[in-house]
Amino acid sequence: MKVTIRSWTGVATWRWVANDDNCGICRMAFDGCCPDCKLPGDDCPLVWGQCSHCFHIHCIMKWLNSQQVQHLCPMCRQEWKFKE
């Protein structure tokens, strides 16, 4: 007997490759979306800082905008710089 696979449709779930499950700011899951968004993934992406902490982009932007003097990572208080 010979079995030939013509096509294979699998089912997978996507997830962010991050060192935590939840966003440190909004406490929502990374794989979900920030409180202001409706759709996860492309519409509500994550960003990483150089300190290797990551957040929903909308969350960290909100945080940074509210900081007048210095932009610090809310987790480790180091200066926040986006990881390239």
Site of interaction with other proteins (CB under 8 A): 1-18, 29, 31-32, 38-42, 46, 48
Number of neighbouring beta carbons within 10 Å of residue 49: 21
Q: How far apart, in whole angstroms, are the C-alpha atoms of residue 80 and residue 3?
A: 55
Least Å from the CB of residue 27 to other proteins: 10
72 phi and psi, to 5 degrees? -115, 150
What is the nearest approach in angstroms of other proteins to the Cβ of residue 69? 30
CB-nearer residue toward other proteins: 67 or 82 = 82
In whole angstroms, the minimum distance from the beta carbon of 42 to other proteins comes to 8
